[in-house]
Amino acid sequence: MTSMVEGMSRPVQADRSRWPVYAALALGLCVAMLASLTLGYKLYGLDKVWAALFAHDGSETATVIAGLRLPRALIAPLAGAALGMAGVMVQTLSRNRIASPDTLGLNAGASMAVVLAMVVFGVGSLGGLSLAAAIGALLTSIIVFGVAAGAGGLSPLKIVLVGVTFAGLAHAVVEIVLTSNEAQLQQLLFWLSGAFVDRPISLFFNGLPVVLVGAALAFTLTSALDALQADDATAASLGVPLLAVRGLTFVAVSLLTGAAVSMAGPVAFVGLVVPHAARGLVGLRHRHQLAAAALVGAIYTTLADVAARFVIYPVEAPVGAITAVVGAGTLVVLLMRRLA
Amino acid sequence: MDDQMANRIEVKALSLSYGPEVVLDALSLPIPSGQITVLAGPNGCGKSTLLRAIRRLHAPQSGQVLLDAEDISKLNGKALGRRIGLLAQSPSAPQDMTVEELVRLGRYPHQAMMQPWGAGDDAAVAAAMVGTGVAEMRQRRIGSLSGGQLQRAWIAMVLAQETDVICLDEPVNHLDMAHQLDCLELVTRLNKEQGRTIVLVLHDLNLAARYADQLVFVADGKVRERGTPETMMRSDLIDEVFNVTAEIIIDPVHKRPICIPHRRS
C-alpha cells in the first residue's frame, strides 16, 4: 500500500496544528487574569497593579490588589479549569452532552453539606465551610456511584438518573433549612449562588493540590475515556475495564468538583458549557479535550467574575448567577440544534 | 486438514444463561484458522451471544473458550483486545467524532501508560483507513456519513486493532444490496489476502452460503449442524432450523448453493 506512507505523516501534523489553539488560549487566560486584577469598582493601571503586588505597604491600593483582587484572579481560573475538566469527564461518563457535575448531584450535595455544617454543626468559618463543601461533593459521588453501580450495572442512563434524583433530594434539604433559618439566610444564599469575591487566598492554596491530583488522574485515563465514547460492547471488546475506568473517572470528577465548590461555592453550568467549546476547538480526543477545557474553563470563569463586577454596578452580582444565565442560554441553543 | 492443529478458537461445552433463560446450552464449536466461519440461525438462537462470549463480553456459567489452546478467561482485557476484534451489532459513537478519531480507538489495546502513541499506531490507523477506503474521509464527522461509509469506518476501527481474529455481528444489517456486497467483499479480502480468521453473524442465508468456508446453524443455544455451505444448504435442514420450506439451487455465477424460501412450514 503506497498511500500508507503519505497517510502516516498526517495525524502527527494534526497534533501539531493544535499548538496555535493552546497558545491563543494561554494568552487569553493571561489577559483575563490581568483584567481581573485591573478592572472593578476602581480601575488600576498595570503599573500600579505590578507595584502593589510586591509593595506590602498597607496602602489602599496594595490592600485592594493583593488582598482582594489577587485571590479572585487566582481562584476563579483554578475553579473554572477544574469544572471544565470535570464537565468533559461527566459528559463522556454519561454519554450525554448536556450533563455536567450538577447532573451527578455533586454541586447539590456540596451545598447540602455546607448548609448542614453551618446550621447543624455550627461551622461559621469560610475554611470550615469550604472543607464541608469538598466532603459533600466526595460523599455525593460515592453515594451516586454506589447506588448506580448497585442497581445492576453502571449504565450511563443510570448514572444520570441517580445523580438527578440525589440532586433533587439535596436541594429539598437545602430549601427546608433555608426557610427555617432566617438568621443565616443572607450568608447561606451568598455561598449557594457561587462567588469568587471575598475569598481568602488560603482557599486557593488548599484547592490547588486537589485540582492537580484530580487533573493528573484524569490525564492517565484519556485513552480509556476516548474508547468509552463508543458503546459499552465496543469499549469492552477493545479491552477497557468499564467499571474500573468509570470508578476512577468518578474519583477524578469529584476531586475536581469538590475543590472548585470548596473555593467558590456551586458555580452553575460551567461544566456544561465549557466542554462544548473545547471539543469545537480541538476535537474529541480526551488528551486535548481535557487540556482545552481546563484553559477555556479558566478563561470563562475569570471573565464571568470580571463581568459580575459591572452588571449591576456598583454592587457585585454573584458570579454563579452570570454563569447560570450563560449556561441556560447555551443549553437552549444546544437543544434547538439537536432538534433541527 | 488436521482439525486440532488448525483451530484458532475452540468453544468447549459453553453454557450461558441470563437469569433463568438458557441462551447457550453446552455449546461446542471449532473455528478453523484462516477461514470464514458464518453463524446463522433464527432470532434468539444465541448466535450473537456466542460471538460476544468468544470475545468474553459475557461470562459463561460453565465451559470455556480456547484461543490458540489458551483459555481466554486467563487473558487480560487488553491482551485479548490485541488478538480478537469484535464489531458489535449497531455500534455507536458521538456523531461529531471524526472518522480518524473513531479508527484511532482501535489502538486502545496496544497503548500502554508509559508509551502512549507511536509510529506503529499511526501506521496501523493509516493502513486500516486505506484498506477500507475511508482514508479520504478521515476528517469527516461520522454523523455525516452514509450507512455504507459508516460501516466501513467501523470496520477500519476493528482493523486498526490488528487482531488475527475478527468477529462481526450482523455487519450488513441496514445496508442496501450494493453495500452489503461491498462489506462482505472487504471481509473476504481481509481473509484471503491477510489470512485473518473471520467469524460473522449473518441473517441472509444466501450471503452466508456465498461467503462462508464453514457455515454453522445455531438453534436453541446449540450448534445444530456445521459444515461447508454445500453440505449445509439442504431443504430438510433449513426446514428444521428455520421452519421454512425452501428449494435449494446452485447460483450459476458463484457456483454456491442458494435457497429460495417458499413459506413458513
Q: Is A242 within the bounds of a domain?
A: yes
Q: Which CATH architecture has domain B7-83+163-264?
A: 3-Layer(aba) Sandwich (3.40)
pLDDT per residue as tens digits for the range B158-190? 999 999 999 999 999 888 899 899 899 999 999
* pLDDT tier at A50, thresholds 50, 70, 90: confident
Average pLDDT for chain A: 87
3-state secondary structure (DSSP) of residue A148: helix
From chain B, pick out residues whose CB is under 8 angstroms from the CB of A10: 126, 138
Residue A158 grid cell: 443510570
Q: Alpha-carbon distance B108 to B125, whole Å?
A: 11
pLDDT per residue as tens digits for the range A191-239? 777 888 888 888 899 899 999 999 999 999 999 999 999 999 999 999 9
* pLDDT tier at A67, thresholds 50, 70, 90: confident
Choose between A308 and A16: higher pLDDT.
Answer: A308
- The C-alpha angle with vertex A101 and arms to A98 and A105, in degrees rounded to 5, equals 105
Q: Give B254→chain A minimum CA distance, Å.
A: 29
The answer to whether A227 contacts B91, with C-beta atoms less than 8 Å apart, is: no
Q: Is A113 within the bounds of a domain?
A: yes
Q: Please say if the pLDDT value at position B195 is more than 70.
A: yes
Which pLDDT score is estimated for B96? 93
**Number of domains chain A contains:** 1
pLDDT per residue as tens digits for the range A249-286? 989 999 999 999 888 888 888 999 999 999 999 999 99
Least CB-CB distance to B109: which of A11, A226, A239?
A239
pLDDT per residue as tens digits for the range A162-176? 999 999 999 999 888
Binding-face residues of B in 155-184 toward A, CB within 8 A: 157, 161
Q: Is the CB of residue B126 less than 8 Å away from at least one CB of chain A?
A: yes
Sequence ranges of the domains in chain B: 7-83+163-264, 92-162
Q: What is the CATH number of the domain that holds A115?
A: 1.10.3470.10
pLDDT per residue as tens digits for the range B32-48? 999 999 999 999 899 99
From chain B, pick out residues whose CB is under 8 angstroms from the CB of A230: 91-93, 102, 105
Edge-first strand listing for the sheet containing B70-71: B21-32, B7-18, B62-67, B70-71
Mean pLDDT of B106-122: 87
Q: Is A16 within the bounds of a domain?
A: no
Which pLDDT score is estimated for A338? 65
Q: Which helix (H) or strand (E) holds A127?
A: helix A126-150
Least CB-CB distance to B91: which of A97, A226, A231?
A231
The answer to whether A229 contacts B93, with C-beta atoms less than 8 Å apart, is: yes
Q: Is A184 within the bounds of a domain?
A: yes
What's the domain range around A166? 38-339
Q: Is the CB of residue B223 less than 8 Å away from at least one CB of chain A?
A: no
Which pLDDT score is estimated for B2? 46
The answer to whether B113 contacts A220, with C-beta atoms less than 8 Å apart, is: yes
Residues 6+ apart with CB under 8 A from B82: A239, B109, B110, B161, B162, B163
Supply the DSSP symbol for A112. Answer: H
Pairing of strands B36-40, B214-219: parallel
Least CB-CB distance to B92: which of A1, A3, A231?
A231
Supply the DSSP symbol for A69. Answer: I
The answer to whether A223 contacts B122, with C-beta atoms less than 8 Å apart, is: no
From chain A, pick out residues whose CB is under 8 angstroms from the CB of B76: 239
B interface mutation test: which of A225, A237, A245, A282 has the most B CBs within 10 A?
Answer: A237
Q: Is the CB of residue B118 less than 8 Å away from at least one CB of chain A?
A: no
Quick one: which of B36, B13, B9, B34 has its CA closest to B201?
A: B36
Q: Is A193 within the bounds of a domain?
A: yes
pLDDT per residue as tens digits for the range B46-96? 999 999 999 999 989 999 999 999 999 999 999 999 999 999 998 999 999
Supply the DSSP symbol for B95. Answer: T
Cβ-defined contacts of A291-296 (< 8 Å, 24+): A291/A22, A292/A21, A292/A22, A292/A25, A293/A81, A293/A84, A293/A85, A293/A87, A293/A88, A294/A81, A294/A82, A294/A84, A294/A85, A294/A215, A295/A22, A295/A25, A295/A26, A295/A28, A295/A29, A295/A81, A295/A84, A296/A25, A296/A84
A-B Cβ pairs (cutoff 8 Å, strict): 104
